[in-house]
């Protein structure tokens, strides 16, 4: 034993990594052959190295696992975004359909007892069942019809598809056709007419006769 153990043990890492001089290497080799203590130290050192290797692998695994987790998280986030996007799209679609239904206004055709006219407190009042009217066309026609002075009230109601769908069958909407202070007393007949209202006030007898023929008489004096 030429060299003290401490010196050899200091050299062991260099010896193990094969980075020491040939002289040092031979000295360490010779010392290990003769010294049980340093041999044991070197074996421990090698074992520690071997344990360190799987630890390094673990780190690699952990890194891979973390990468996987990141990818999975991204995928999950993408799925969530997709679900949200789909929900927004469906919602927008529903809104568009409702909007279209609200904009789709059509004339309410007279059915059995869906439209009626009454005088309430001197006002002419129309009652509509099962829908709400968005538009109300009213024309008052003072005419001499085949020699008779008569005052007619023609009216027509329109509703959107949305109001048709959302209003229950047994619900009534009420509309004032002619208030008492606007000459309701002078009206002789009230007709529901779904046709053309252009210059209905100045029509001749024959054309007015056609209008009346195509109208539904709802009230007469
Ligand atoms: Zn030794």
Distance, CA 47 to ligand 1 centroid (Å)?
18
119 and 191 share one domain: yes
Q: What's the confidence (pLDDT) of residue 203? A: 82
Answer with the one of 103, 125, 144 that is the final residue of a domain: 103
Distance, CA 42 to ligand 1 centroid (Å)?
10
132 and 215 share one domain: yes
Distance, CA 35 to ligand 1 centroid (Å)?
5
Distance, CA 19 to ligand 1 centroid (Å)?
20
Q: Round to whole Å and give the CA distance between 73 and 108.
A: 56
Q: What's the confidence (pLDDT) of residue 55? A: 53
Is residue 87 classed exposed, middle or buried when 0-12, 13-18 and 19+ CB atoms within 10 A define those classes?
exposed
Answer with the one of 47, 69, 103 that is the final residue of a domain: 103
Distance, CA 45 to ligand 1 centroid (Å)?
14
Distance, CA 20 to ligand 1 centroid (Å)?
18
Please, which residues bridge with residue 124 across strands?
119, 178
Distance, CA 5 to ligand 1 centroid (Å)?
4
10 and 41 share one domain: yes
Q: What's the confidence (pLDDT) of residue 212? A: 92
143 and 87 share one domain: no
139 and 205 share one domain: yes
Distance, CA 32 to ligand 1 centroid (Å)?
7
Answer with the one of 103, 123, 143 that is the final residue of a domain: 103
83 and 148 share one domain: no
Q: What's the confidence (pLDDT) of residue 46? A: 86
Q: What's the confidence (pLDDT) of residue 54? A: 54
Q: What's the confidence (pLDDT) of residue 57? A: 62
142 and 85 share one domain: no
Give pLDDT < 70 ranges for the chain: 1, 51-58, 145
Q: What's the confidence (pLDDT) of residue 17? A: 87
143 and 81 share one domain: no
Distance, CA 34 to ligand 1 centroid (Å)?
8
Q: How many Cα atoms sit within 13 Å of 91 on the Cβ side? A: 6
Q: What's the confidence (pLDDT) of residue 179? A: 93
Q: How many domains does the chain have?
A: 2
Q: Round to whole Å and give the CA distance between 205 and 145.
A: 6
Is residue 162 classed exposed, middle or buried when 0-12, 13-18 and 19+ CB atoms within 10 A define those classes?
buried
What range defines the domain where residue 85 resides? 1-103
20 and 86 share one domain: yes
pTM of the predicted structure, to 2 decimals = 0.62
99 and 111 share one domain: no
54 and 136 share one domain: no
160 and 124 share one domain: yes
């Amino acid at each position: 034993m030429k060299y003290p153990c401490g010196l050899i043990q200091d050299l062991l890492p260099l010896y193990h990594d094969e980075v020491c001089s040939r002289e040092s290497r031979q000295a360490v080799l010779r010392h290990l052959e003769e010294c049980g203590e340093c041999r044991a130290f070197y074996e421990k050192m090698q074992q520690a190295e071997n344990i360190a290797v799987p630890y390094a692998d673990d780190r690699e695994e952990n890194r891979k696992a973390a990468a996987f987790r990141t990818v999975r998280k991204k995928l999950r986030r993408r799925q969530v975004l997709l679900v949200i996007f789909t929900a927004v799209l469906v919602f927008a679609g529903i809104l568009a359909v409702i909007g279209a239904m609200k904009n789709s206004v059509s004339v309410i055709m007279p059915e059995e007892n869906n439209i009626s006219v009454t005088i309430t407190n001197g006002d002419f009042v129309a009652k509509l069942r099962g829908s709400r009217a968005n538009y109300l066309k009213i024309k008052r026609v003072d005419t001499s019809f085949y020699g008779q002075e008569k005052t007619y009230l023609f009216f027509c109601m329109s509703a959107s598809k949305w109001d048709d769908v959302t209003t229950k069958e047994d619900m009534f909407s009420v509309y004032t056709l002619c208030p008492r202070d606007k000459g309701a007393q002078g009206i002789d007949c009230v007709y529901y007419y779904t046709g053309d209202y252009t210059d209905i006030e100045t029509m001749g007898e024959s054309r007015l006769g056609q209008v009346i023929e195509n109208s539904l008489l709802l009230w007469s004096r």
